[in-house]
Structure 1
Amino acid sequence: MKQIFALLSGLIFGIGLIVSGMADPAKVLNFLDVFGTWDPSLAFVMGGAIAVTAPGFAWLFRSRQTPYFDNTFRVPTRNDLEPKLLTGAAIFGIGWGLGGFCPGPALTALPLAASGTLIFVPFMLGGMWIARHTPDLTPKTKEGTA
């Protein structure tokens, strides 16, 4: 049952990405082009998503002790900003801005077989593989030292 709801959630998410235009890199790039052909419609998509999700999460956490298909809610507990996180976010943002794709919409647009998608997705997957298989180069500190 868990897999069926995961599949349905993914399908609804993908349909939402296509309907909202987030799977169209030209629309995304126009959103990022603030001083040119700026298209603010994706801000409304994001705002709408927040307006629906925030009350939903608030209701869910108040009404249930555990999720429907797991033993515990898996909510991030860390709130620090480390250089590795900031560097990764910057690389992600630059790639998103250059390609006009975020990973979710890129995979959603893959069946359309547009040349940009066919180039972006393999490079995105390659970057994910490199990130997973690259050793952590951040300096380790011993307990009690900074």
Structure 2
Amino acid sequence: MASPQQSARSGSDGDPRYANLDERKRKRMISNRESARRSRAKKQNRLDELLGQINQLQNDNNTIMRKIDGATHMFVGAASQNNVLRAQLTELTDRLHSLNSVLHIAQEVSGLAMDIPEVPDTLLEPWKLPCPTHPITASFNLNMF
């Protein structure tokens, strides 16, 4: 009877013809295991890359959200200041109209001719102001974005 080593070398049924088949099968198993190991390592590396990208994108998103919040805050402040200035414009225009009315009444009562300027349309409709000859400078942090 053949020893266990001889039967392993000569094939599963002891026939030497199957020895090459068993050797090829063993090599193929080793190759498959190595291929599976490489595949798992490749998958793990890709997963690590994707997790890194997720973290980077979340950080970028947080940065952009902070910038949006800052810009929104600045916009709300500018809009609020604009509303205050419009209210002041309305109040001052009403005062000017009232003062002109008083001057007209004083002119009629006194009989003296007075040069009473009319309220310019540009005060009533500031969006129709002519273009200024000097540039308007504003302080704005351009590096914010």
TM-score, length of structure 1 as denominator length: 0.22
Larger Cα-atom Rg: 2
Is the helix fraction higher in 1 or 2?
2
